Amino acid sequence: MTGCTACDAVTEIDSDGFDFRVADKGFVWSYPERMPGKPRRIRTDVAVLYVGDEAEKQALLLGEPEVFFTTPAYDGSPLVMLWPAQVNVDRLRELVTERGACVPQTCASATSMTAAIRRAQSGGCGSSEGARG
């Protein structure tokens, strides 16, 4: 990938949904829903996105509440949840590349990440059942 050496650090981890990391640190992955008394369920209709700090988290939550949300489990963490189906491919690419700071938007990895997220959603892994947030 000419002009895209930072992409070498992007890794897709084999999982039941999707899980992308930069330098072994996750920045977008399928939501691992945990319900009391039930096994963990990977939800591909919900993504968890690392945002870096509380200010960015609040900006996304307040600015686009139809897309971004959180749960009490993520209070105090620089993580938001989002509905990937509520955003177009360009916006999804923007979100994952902004958060994986070393991943340039022109990088082929950004396109493959969004494609993998969409594939996981359409592949029947996870579910859209349950409450939003």
Q: What is the pLDDT of residue 33?
A: 93
5-122: CATH, from 1.10.3470, 3.30.70, 3.40.50, 3.90.1150: 3.90.1150
pLDDT at 109: 58
Looking at residue 123, its pLDDT comes to 65
**pTM of the full structure:** 0.72
Question: What are the residue ranges spanned by the domains of the chain?
Answer: 5-122
pLDDT along the chain (133 residues), means of 10: 44 83 81 92 92 91 95 92 85 70 50 73 49 35
60 Cβ partners below 8 Å, 6+ apart? 51, 67, 68, 80, 82
